[in-house]
Amino acid sequence: LPLLGFDLRAKLFPSGSDTDAAYLAEFNAPMVTQPAIFVTELALGYTLVDLGVTPSAMAGHSIGEFVAATLAGVFSEADALELIATRARLSANEAPEGKMLSVSIDEATAAEVAATEPDKLWVAVQNAAGRQVIAGEASAIDRAAAALLQRGVKSRPLPVNRAYHTPLMSGVQSALARLLERMQLSAPSVPLCCNRTGGWLE
């Protein structure tokens, strides 16, 4: 609550008076979405541990990687909450609006699409051999989706309004690096898979 300035529970469990469209528009903003994902996944992790599930290794995507690191003791819970709240605030205030597009194409085709508008489109996530996410400026993503549809390729916009995992987030990255420099980090208690390399975090 003090880190966000509002009660996240009211966003996670809205009153019946909220319309779906209004609720989703507010929920999909970085200040709500990022902390909501973090606390929900962390609560799930704590629950699994309480039920006796002991991980031999962990992996998480994006915010989930912070959750895995918290469960593995890399961050204290207080530092992790500060980090996520800061990431959310910076994403909302420092990063330009953007879009992300999930597309069932191979990596080479995704790179080809991104290359049609350099410095506006990027391959942001490589989920699997035929599952890519292209992200970038909102208008460029709209054009890419239309061009893909002309080729018979359907795509699905992700419910976010930032181009995460692209250079459009570089200002956020720099500020988070400065915050991390003053935090005490510990070696993970269980192996953690690194999103960026596919190897193990040290």
* CA separation, residue 189 to residues 47, 59, 70, 199 (Å): 18, 13, 10, 16
Mean pLDDT across the chain, nearest whole number?
Answer: 92
Model confidence pLDDT, tens digit, residues 126-176: 888 899 999 999 999 999 999 999 999 999 999 888 999 999 998 888 889
Tell me which residue has tokens 């193990």: 200
91-116 in b/e form (b: 16+ CB < 10 A) is: bbeebeebbbbbbebeeebbbebbee
Model confidence pLDDT, tens digit, residues 172-202: 888 899 999 999 999 999 999 998 888 998 8
Does residue 15 carry a pLDDT above 80? no
Q: State residue 152's pLDDT score.
A: 94
Does residue 46 carry a pLDDT above 90? yes
What average pLDDT does this structure show over 82-89?
A: 94
Structure pTM? 0.83
Q: State residue 23's pLDDT score.
A: 82
Q: How far apart are CA 152 and CA 130, in angstroms?
A: 15
Q: State residue 36's pLDDT score.
A: 96
